[in-house]
Amino acid sequence: MERVIIHVDMDYFYAAIEEREDPSLKGKAVVVCMYSSRGEQGGAVSTSNYVAREIGIRSAMPCRQAKALNPDAVFLPVRKQFYEEVSDNVMEILRSNADSEEAFEKISIDEAFLEVTNSSCSDPGRAGEIGMRIKEEIRIREKITCSVGIGPNKLIAKMASSFQKPDGITIVRPEEVRDFLKPMPVKKLWGIGKVTEERLAEMGVRTIGDLEEHDIQELISVFGKNRGTWLKQAAAGRDETPVKERTATDQIGRMASLEHDTRDEGMIFSLLDELENDVMARARSRKVSFRSATVTVILSNFKMSTKSRTFSHPVSDMGSLHESAAEMMQQFLEETTLNFRRIGVRVGDLHEMTGQKSLFDF
Ligand code: DCP
Ligand code: MG
Ligand code: MG
């Protein structure tokens, strides 16, 4: 079965969150700055919204230069921890749309791959519907936009998501891969930086199409066996690398919708049990213990809240998870009178279990 991979990248992520938090920023140039120890004089632009980009303000530019370009732009300091929280919520949405918990790979604070080969029945068009649903879910719950790329592998999906930005969706079917890549300058190929771009230019290679037609032996003689072979493969749009969670230090989580919006404790706690069982089964198969547990609740007004508990040491038993999750859920019920729409459980701060006797054995 041909793989179908989705890549999602949030639009002007840090600045979009700041816009969401302060609606008076809408329409203004917004620049989020990472200030150095020298205060506002030093520092570089983390990101800027699209209004600011129109006047040439870019990531990594010195903030002073950005200020010179537009003294009226709104300059805000980075609030990394806050963005991480929004990122966690977004990642939870993405993860819950992947074929399985393992078919998900976060690659930065604002982007991830998810494999949907099974749920789309290997049909890129159906993956497009999943992509639209994801955009809608993120827009409603987090009030920010993202761009989605769909392709037969990670390379193509990643390049497709940046094809139409912001708020775009681009589907590249297997038979369209060549035409999609061919006219692009080589620097657009994911994995090619400035140095490679310059060396290729010296060889007369400007577009990905040029690269695809270039003699592989020459590429190998210039770039070495691995890199040369990779360049040739990538230019043809071939990429076999799997979508895979990178580290065991990440998280294992499950989310699901209640049958209908409700505050019925029987319904809520039985779904919670089901999710806990699922999370535990996954932790077991990955042979990991965990030090934190998190419960997420989405209310009927789409507002999402989370609560977390940290254990004094890594645990791996159902009892610990169940007890803490149930307690957090009880608190949620006490805090609001709204109905619950969707709930989730996850464990984090994972630790590999190295063969010693664990609580699973009891
Ligand atoms: N970032 C940063 N410094 C950089 C690049 C990025 O601090 N040099 C941060 C700020 C971005 C976030 O990472 O908001 C995500 O990076 P992206 O490259 O995805 O850029 P944006 O999401 O801001 O914009 P785009 O709409 O182009 O994806
Ligand atoms: Mg982005
Ligand atoms: Mg990104």
User: Structural domains in the chain?
Assistant: 5-12+82-177 (3.30.70.270), 14-80 (3.40.1170.60), 182-235 (1.10.150.20), 251-361 (3.30.1490.100)
Kindly state if the Cβ of 165 falls inside 6 Å of ligand 1: yes
Tell me the catalytic residues: 111
Residue to mutate, 8, 59, 63, ligand 1, most ligand atoms under 8 Å from C-beta: 59
Q: Is the dihedral of CA 12, 14, 15, 21 positive or negative?
A: positive
Quote the CA–CA distance of 313 and 230 in Å, as a whole number. Answer: 43
Residue nearest to atom 9 of ligand 1 (CA): 46
Closest atom of ligand 1 to CA, residue 48: 23
Closest-CA residue to 252 (of 92, 134, 137):
92
DSSP codes, 82-115: HHHHHHHHHHHHHHTTSSSTTSEEEEETTEEEEE
Q: Is the dihedral of CA 184, 186, 190, 194 positive or negative?
A: negative
Predicted model pTM: 0.76
Ligand 2 centroid vs 166 CA: distance in angstroms? 9
Kindly state if the Cβ of 166 falls inside 6 Å of ligand 1: yes
The terminus-to-terminus CA distance of the chain in angstroms comes to 41
Digitized pLDDT (tens) for each residue of the chain, 362 residues in all: 999 999 999 999 999 999 999 999 999 999 999 987 666 667 899 999 999 999 999 999 999 999 999 999 999 999 988 998 899 889 989 998 999 878 999 999 999 999 999 999 999 999 999 999 999 999 999 999 999 999 999 999 999 999 999 999 999 999 999 999 999 999 999 999 888 999 999 999 999 999 999 999 999 999 999 999 999 999 999 999 999 876 555 788 888 889 999 999 999 999 999 999 999 998 998 889 999 999 999 898 878 888 999 999 999 999 999 999 999 999 999 999 999 999 999 999 898 887 554 444 44
Three-state SS across 209-278?
Answer: HHHHHCCHHHHHHHHCHHHHHHHHHHHCCCCCCCCCCCCCCCEEEEEEEEEEEECCHHHHHHHHHHHHHH
Quote the CA–CA distance of 37 and 133 in Å, as a whole number. Answer: 43
Residue to mutate, 9, 11, 12, 13, ligand 1, most ligand atoms under 8 Å from C-beta: 13
The structure tokens 């399985």 sit at 100
Closest atom of ligand 1 to CA, residue 15: 14
CB atoms within 10 A of CB 221: 11
Q: Which ligand is nearest to the CA of 83?
A: 1
CB 243 within 8 A of CB 95: no
Ligand 1 centroid vs 221 CA: distance in angstroms? 35
Residue nearest to atom 6 of ligand 1 (CA): 46
Residue nearest to atom 2 of ligand 1 (CA): 46
Ligand 3 centroid vs 110 CA: distance in angstroms? 5
Quote the CA–CA distance of 115 and 95 in Å, as a whole number. Answer: 10
User: What is the structure's pLDDT at 362?
Assistant: 40
